[in-house]
C-alpha cells in the first residue's frame, strides 16, 4: 500500500438468539454486558475507521449505540438464523457498506462473547495484516493432541495414532486451535476466497489463560475466573 494508511472496519457480530445461554451476547460478565468488552476493545484500539455491530436485535442495537458503536443497518433474517456462518455475516456487512458507497481495505470480525480481547491484540493483528492476507488468533492445545485416545465400536479405548503413543511431548509437532475471538482480513482476499481462512493466513499466538470458549454455564464461570487472572497479570 506504499505510504497510505489502509482503511479498517471492525465488525462485531451479535445476534439476539442463542441456544444454550439465553441472551448470551448481552448477559452481564463480571457485572457488565459481555458485548461491551468487544466494543470497548475495538474503540480503544484507535485503529478502526468505524466500529459497527451487526445484529438483528433492537435491544442489542441500542446497547451498542450507547457504547459508541455504530449500527447502520440491522441484520437480515437470512444471516440471523442458526445456520448462517461468520463469513455470511461479514459478506452481508461489507456489501451493505459497499452499496452505501463505503469501502474498507481491511476488516476485523470480532465475536461478542470474547472479553479476553484487548486493544493491543487487535492492533497487533491489524499490524500483521500489512504483510499477510489474514490473521487468526490461535493457542496451543493443553495436551499433545497426537497422543489422543479414541473409543472403538467395541467400547474399547486405544491410541488414535499408535505411532505417537510413546513419543515424548517435546518431539511431537506443536498443534494449535482457533481462539474463537476475532479474525482480521484484507477485504480483497476475503471476496476472492469467500472466507477469512485465506491461503496467506498467519497466526497470532495467545496464551491458554486468555482463551475460553463460552458455550455453557460452566464455561461462563471459568471465563470469569480466567479474565480476573489475566487482569491481575496485567
pLDDT confidence of residue 79: 80
pLDDT tens column, 193-232: 999 999 999 999 999 999 999 999 999 999 999 999 999 9
Q: Label residue 13 by pLDDT band (50, 70, 90).
A: very high
pLDDT confidence of residue 224: 98
What is the number of helices (H) and of strands (E) in the chain? 6, 11
Q: How many CA atoms lie within 13 A of 1 on its CB side?
A: 15
The separation between the first and the last C-alpha atoms of the chain, rounded to the nearest angstrom, is 34
Contact (CB, 8 A) for 179 and 112: no
Residue among 186, 205, 194 at smallest CA distance from 132: 186
pLDDT confidence of residue 170: 87
pLDDT confidence of residue 40: 98
Q: The whole model's pTM is what?
A: 0.93
pLDDT(3) > 60: no
pLDDT tens column, 40-71: 999 999 999 999 999 999 999 999 999 999 99
pLDDT tens column, 80-106: 777 789 999 999 999 999 999 999 999
Chain mean pLDDT for the chain: 94
Contact (CB, 8 A) for 147 and 217: no
Q: Label residue 1 by pLDDT band (50, 70, 90).
A: very low
pLDDT(14) > 70: yes
Burial 168-178 (b: 16+ CB within 10 A, else e): eeeeeeeeeee
Q: Label residue 4 by pLDDT band (50, 70, 90).
A: low
Q: Label residue 77 by pLDDT band (50, 70, 90).
A: confident
Burial 103-115 (b: 16+ CB within 10 A, else e): ebbbbbbbbbbbb
pLDDT tens column, 171-187: 999 999 999 999 999 99
Amino acid at each position: 500500500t506504499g505510504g497510505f494508511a489502509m482503511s479498517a472496519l471492525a465488525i462485531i457480530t451479535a445476534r439476539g438468539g442463542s441456544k444454550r445461554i439465553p441472551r448470551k451476547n448481552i448477559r452481564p460478565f463480571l457485572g457488565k454486558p459481555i458485548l461491551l468488552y468487544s466494543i470497548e476493545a475495538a474503540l480503544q484500539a484507535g485503529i478502526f475507521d468505524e466500529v459497527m455491530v451487526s445484529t438483528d436485535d433492537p435491544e442489542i442495537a441500542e446497547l451498542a449505540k450507547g457504547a459508541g458503536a455504530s449500527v447502520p443497518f440491522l441484520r437480515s433474517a437470512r444471516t440471523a438464523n442458526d445456520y448462517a456462518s461468520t463469513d455470511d455475516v461479514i459478506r452481508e456487512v461489507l456489501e451493505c457498506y459497499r452499496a452505501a458507497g463505503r469501502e474498507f481495505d481491511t476488516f476485523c470480525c470480532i465475536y461478542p462473547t470474547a472479553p479476553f480481547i484487548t486493544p493491543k491484540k487487535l492492533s497487533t493483528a491489524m499490524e500483521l495484516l500489512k504483510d499477510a492476507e489474514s490473521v487468526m488468533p490461535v493457542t496451543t492445545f493443553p495436551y499433545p493432541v497426537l497422543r489422543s485416545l479414541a473409543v472403538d465400536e467395541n467400547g474399547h479405548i486405544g491410541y488414535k495414532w499408535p505411532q505417537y503413543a510413546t513419543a515424548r511431548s517435546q518431539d511431537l509437532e506443536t498443534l494449535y486451535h482457533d481462539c474463537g475471538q476475532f479474525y482480521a482480513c484484507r477485504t480483497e482476499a476475503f471476496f476472492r476466497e469467500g472466507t477469512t481462512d485465506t491461503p496467506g493466513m498467519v497466526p497470532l499466538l495467545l496464551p491458554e489463560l486468555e482463551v475460553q470458549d463460552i458455550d455453557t454455564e460452566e464455561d461462563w464461570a471459568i471465563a470469569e475466573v480466567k479474565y480476573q487472572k489475566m487482569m491481575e497479570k496485567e
